[in-house]
Structure formats: structure tokens, C-alpha cells
Amino acid sequence: MAAARPAVPALPLRADVLQLNSLFEELVDDGFSEDFFRQHTGQNTLENVQCLELQVDAISGAQRCEMIGEVLPNLHALRLSQSRICTTRDLGTSLSNLKVLWLCRSSLQDLGGITNMPLLEELYLAFNDVRDLSPLWTHEALQVLDLEGNLVDDFEEVRVLQAVSSLRELNLSMNPVWKTEDLTREQVLKALPQLEVLDDVPRDGPPAGVAGRGLVASESLSSLVSDAAASLGAPEDASSLTAQKDLAELLAEVCSPAAVALSTAPARAAPVGLGEDPPCRALRELRARSASREPA
């Protein structure tokens, strides 16, 4: 009769998974900890920190982004632009005092969890992949919403914002809804009577030379090109002439309609410690091109 095989000791169910999780949490804590935030903000008392600028990676799981609110409970302004965050759920439930949030160019797709920021007054989400605006309808304090360059393609998503009675400024430029719905500026303003500014242009009407959708007429564009070209200097050679030609193309391509046409929109003060980006990306890019063409 064959001898019985000795019993093979076995780990408890999922003990190996738990061990790996524990190791991962230790690594994360080494990257995002109270000491990290003290060093980053220069504040020993983290309860006193009201403004923070940071780039985070929530997609890979390399950082516990929810820890931001846990260790900085009185945060009022948070700039996470050019981070990697698919959903605002990754920011946790502890940012209840946050008033201003930047998540521009952050691969954002989902606004689920945004209700955990009930005091939010300004939300900047330019150049992401947001389609669904329904998580915003319960926000009673939201005044400024920047959705430039997102994927909103349904006018019903825009109508959701009717419930946000506090909303005063909305930027929908460069969203597919303008094309797929053949939407006009007047329709949006009628649907959202609380708005004072749409695409950076006051409700009272776009400046002369701006069409119904906020597109710039040739006269306005030519005037702006002339002013911007003057800031680049006189066209002394072929490269300068090329720079001015590029300016016209870039203004038409990447500068939002409102940024081109608007000279009367009310300015918004940025929270202390965090500055606003310049409004027209085309001008910045052209100045950079012009500088690169100058002989060393």
C-alpha cells in the first residue's frame, strides 16, 4: 500500500493578495504622506493650508489622491492640472471645503463623486474627455464652469445645468455639441437663463463681428492678427512674415472664439497663491515660435 503523501501547508485564502496589498500601501504612503505635504507646502500645520498645486497620478494607482483632502481638511483651492485622473471619485470624500478646482488636461472622463465638494464655486475642466454633466446638477454654489475642449455632444447634458441656479459663467467652446446639434448661442442662453457669460462673452451680446455661435468675423480676426503681429515685431525678413502667417492660422485653430473676440468680459480674481493661465494659447505659442527663430 502506497504511503500517504505528506500534507502540503497552504496559505490562508487570499493571504498572498493581502500581503501584496499591504506592501503596495506602504510604498504609496512613502510617496504621499503628511511629511510630504509639509515639505511641499512649507507648512508644519497642515490645517492652515488653503491652496495647493500638484500633479498626481491616480490612474496607475501610484498615489492615494484621496489623501489630499484627508491631510488638508481646510483646502479652498486645488490645482491638479496636467495630472492623470479619470474620475473625480479618485479625490475621495474629504474635500468638503474646496471652492476652486483645476483639472485641466488631466485625462478626466467622469465627474462622479463631485458631490463630495458641496461648496465648489469654480470648476476648470478644459481639454478633457467629459461627456456627462449630470453629477453637477445638485451643486448649489457653482458659479464658474469651464468645459472648453471636452466631449459634450448632447444638448440635454447642457440642459442639466438649468438646475444649477448659481451658475454665472460657462465655457462650452470646442465641444462637439455645437456641430452635432447645430446649436446656436441663443439656444444655450435661453436654456440657461441664469448665465451671465457664455464662452467668455457676456450675455448681452457678442461684440461686433462675432456670429451667433461665437465665431470671429474676418474683420475682427484681421484686427487681432495685426495687434498680435505688432507684438512680435516688424516683419524684417521671411521668417518674420512666416510667423505672422502662422499667427493667423493658429488664432483660427486653437484660440477659443471668446478669447479672440472678447475685450469686455469681466475678469475673475484667482485665489491667493494660484495664478490664472493667460487666456489665449495661440499668442503664447507664436511668441515661442518667434523666439526659436531668432538667431543665437
pLDDT of 281 reads: 47
pLDDT for position 292: 56
Q: What is the pLDDT of residue 184?
A: 92
Residues 6+ apart with CB under 8 A from 97: 73, 74, 75, 76, 119
Q: pLDDT tens digits for the chain (296 residues)?
A: 555 555 545 445 444 444 434 444 443 444 578 888 998 888 889 889 999 999 999 988 778 899 999 999 999 999 999 999 999 999 999 999 999 999 999 999 999 999 999 999 999 999 999 999 999 999 999 999 999 999 999 999 999 999 999 999 999 999 999 997 678 999 999 999 999 999 999 998 754 344 444 333 333 344 444 454 444 454 444 444 455 545 545 544 444 444 333 333 344 444 444 544 444 444 455 455 555 555 54
Distances (CA, A) of 96 to 75, 139, 250, 292: 9, 12, 40, 45
Check residue 170 and give its pLDDT.
97
CA distance 196 to 144: 10
Predicted pLDDT of residue 3 = 58
CA distances from 179 to 135, 176, 200 (A): 24, 5, 19
Task: Return d(Cα 43, Cα 37) in angstroms, integer.
Answer: 8
Domains and CATH numbers, the chain: 34-202 (3.80.10.10)
Beta bridge partners of 151: none
pLDDT at 178: 94
Per-residue pLDDT tens digits for 15-26: 444 443 444 444
How many angstroms separate the Cα of 69 from the Cα of each of 53, 94, 170, 181?
13, 5, 27, 39
Task: Give tens-digit pLDDT for 61-85.
Answer: 778 899 999 999 999 999 999 999 9
| Residue owning grid cell 510604498 | 27
| Predicted TM-score (pTM) of this structure | 0.64
Q: Which three cell numbers stand for residue 217?
A: 468675423
Give the pLDDT confidence score for residue 274 in this predicted structure: 54
Q: In what order do the strands lie in the sheet with 51-53?
A: 51-53, 77-79, 100-102, 122-124, 144-146, 169-171, 197-198, 201-202
Q: Encode 271-285: b = buried (16+ Cβ within 10 Å), e = exposed.
A: beeeeeeebbbbbee
Please say whether the beta carbons of 153 and 175 come within 8 A: yes
Radius of gyration of the chain (CA): 25
Cα(36)–Cα(55) distance, rounded to whole angstroms?
13
pLDDT computed for residue 204 by the predictor = 87
Residue 211: per-residue pLDDT = 40
The full DSSP string for 123-141 is EE--SS-----GGGTT-SS
Amino acid at 50: Q
pLDDT given for residue 255 in this prediction: 45
